[in-house]
């Protein structure tokens, strides 16, 4: 009986030992399997992540390269357009130069051509008169200006305008009102002739005429109001006198 119980106890102990041993082995296998799965999952996750990052980097690189390509294409297009424009302009200018050499450009208004050619002629009397005017020798300046008028061609319009302008200023300094008005009226008429020639040649020419009567009246009031607080002087009296005479000129040329 004792031997049997001893055998039973030993058998149970052996079974427990075997069970514990097998359970330990199974636990180790489970841990190893779980660790391997986790490692595999993590490695696959890292692999997926690295692949996604790689794809993102590749997409960024592709976007960057595509943007560079677009910018390069755009620059090439702009350079092509500019080169074509420059070459087209040069071709046009060469053709225009050939046309100008073969056939000179015609001016529709011959008076304009003659007027421009005459205005280029030197007029030493006008320069001498300017120097005399600056020095206060108004009578001698008038003499030189009248001599210059006698030598001028009827279409030498620009010089005539300058001469009559200087004459009127000389007469203003000499307080010769009648000759001032007469010279100013002649200047206005020559200026209108000049405007007509320019208008016939260039349709968009901005013609400038002498002051109208209302403008001259406003100018006289403005001069008087601006000089009212100034002390009396020959310069102030001359300014007022000039504005008064210009009003008379405006009335005469507007008739």
State which of 88, 105, 122 marks the end of a domain: 105
Do 118 and 153 touch, CB atoms closer than 8 A? yes
pLDDT number for residue 161: 92
State which of 46, 73, 105 marks the end of a domain: 105
Range of the domain at 23: 1-105
DSSP letter for 209, please.
-
Tokens read off for 40: 């595999």
pTM of the model: 0.57
pLDDT along the chain (255 residues), means of 10: 58 67 57 47 46 51 58 53 46 51 57 86 87 93 92 89 94 95 94 89 81 91 91 92 94 87
Tokens read off for 121: 């002629």
Residue 67 and residue 131: Cα distance in Å, rounded?
71
pLDDT number for residue 36: 47
Note whether 15 and 78 are same-domain residues: yes
Note whether 162 and 198 are same-domain residues: yes
Residue 75 and residue 81: Cα distance in Å, rounded?
10
Q: What are the helix (H) ranges across 103-156? A: 110-119, 124-134, 138-151
Residues 6+ apart with CB under 8 A from 240: 220, 223, 224, 227
Do 243 and 220 touch, CB atoms closer than 8 A? yes
State which of 72, 105, 138 marks the end of a domain: 105
Note whether 6 and 44 are same-domain residues: yes
pLDDT number for residue 25: 54
Note whether 88 and 154 are same-domain residues: no
Tokens read off for 56: 């993102």
Residues 6+ apart with CB under 8 A from 209: 188, 191, 192, 195
Do 114 and 194 touch, CB atoms closer than 8 A? no
User: Considering only CA atoms, which of 224, 228, 229 is closest in space to residue 241?
Assistant: 224
pLDDT number for residue 203: 78
Instruction: Name the domain count of the chain.
Output: 3
Note whether 98 and 13 are same-domain residues: yes
pLDDT number for residue 20: 66
- H helix or E strand, kind and range, residue 247: helix 234-253
């Amino acid at each position: 009986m004792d031997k049997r119980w001893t055998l039973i106890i030993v058998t149970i102990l052996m079974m427990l030992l075997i069970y514990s041993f097998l359970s330990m082995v199974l636990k180790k296998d489970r841990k190893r399997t779980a660790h391997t799965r986790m490692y595999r999952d993590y490695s696959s996750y890292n692999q997926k992540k690295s692949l996604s990052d790689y794809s993102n980097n590749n997409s960024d690189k592709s976007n960057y390269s595509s943007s560079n390509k677009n910018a390069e294409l755009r620059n090439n297009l702009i350079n092509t357009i500019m080169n074509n424009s420059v070459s087209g302009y040069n071709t046009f200018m060469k053709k225009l130069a050939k046309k100008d050499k073969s056939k000179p450009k015609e001016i529709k208004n011959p008076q304009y051509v003659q007027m421009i050619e005459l205005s280029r002629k030197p007029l030493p009397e006008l320069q001498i008169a300017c120097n005399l005017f600056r020095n206060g020798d108004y009578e001698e300046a008038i003499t030189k200006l009248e001599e210059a008028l006698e030598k001028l061609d009827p279409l030498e319009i620009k010089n005539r305008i300058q001469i009559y302008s200087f004459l009127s200023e000389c007469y203003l300094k000499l307080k010769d009102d009648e000759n001032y008005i007469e010279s100013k009226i002649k200047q206005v008429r020559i200026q209108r002739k000049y405007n007509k020639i320019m208008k016939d040649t260039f349709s968009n020419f901005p013609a400038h005429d002498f002051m109208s009567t209302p403008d001259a009246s406003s100018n006289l009031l403005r001069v008087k109001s601006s000089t009212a607080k100034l002390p009396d002087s020959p310069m102030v009296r001359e300014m007022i006198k000039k504005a008064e005479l210009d009003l008379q000129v405006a009335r005469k040329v507007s008739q």
